[in-house]
Amino acid sequence: MGFDILSLILFLPLAGSILVLLIPKENKNLIKVASLVFSLPSLVLSGLLYYYFDHSLGAMQFQVNVPWVRSVGLFYQLGVDGISLPLVILTALLSTVSLLASWTINEKVKGYFS
């Protein structure tokens, strides 16, 4: 794939959480919908990750390696292998399912869904 799918899976829910924090707490339905809107793409992208994953390779795939703080040798590095792939998919699935399962919660919605 030609884009950084792992970073999208990682940072989309974070962006959604930040957005939810900016929504007034009185807009409970908007908070719930915004949380779901940012959770579903991670689930879809994790499905694409599985589809494009080459199970015949034993090495890390979809690697990202970007220098972060060169002066101290820090790098932003991500990758997925055969063991971590199901965990990525499970995390995306569980996040989405837990949001849907808790849709009826009406107390402290902003704190719960962010």
For the segment 25-75, what is each residue's pLDDT rounded down to a tens digit? 999 999 999 999 999 999 999 999 999 999 998 899 999 999 989 999 899
**How many Cα neighbours within 13 Å face the side chain of 34?**
22
- Residues of the chain with pLDDT > 70, as a percent, come to 97
Distance, CA of 36 to CA of 96 (rounded, Å):
7
Average pLDDT over residues 86-93: 96
Distance, CA of 86 to CA of 50 (rounded, Å):
8
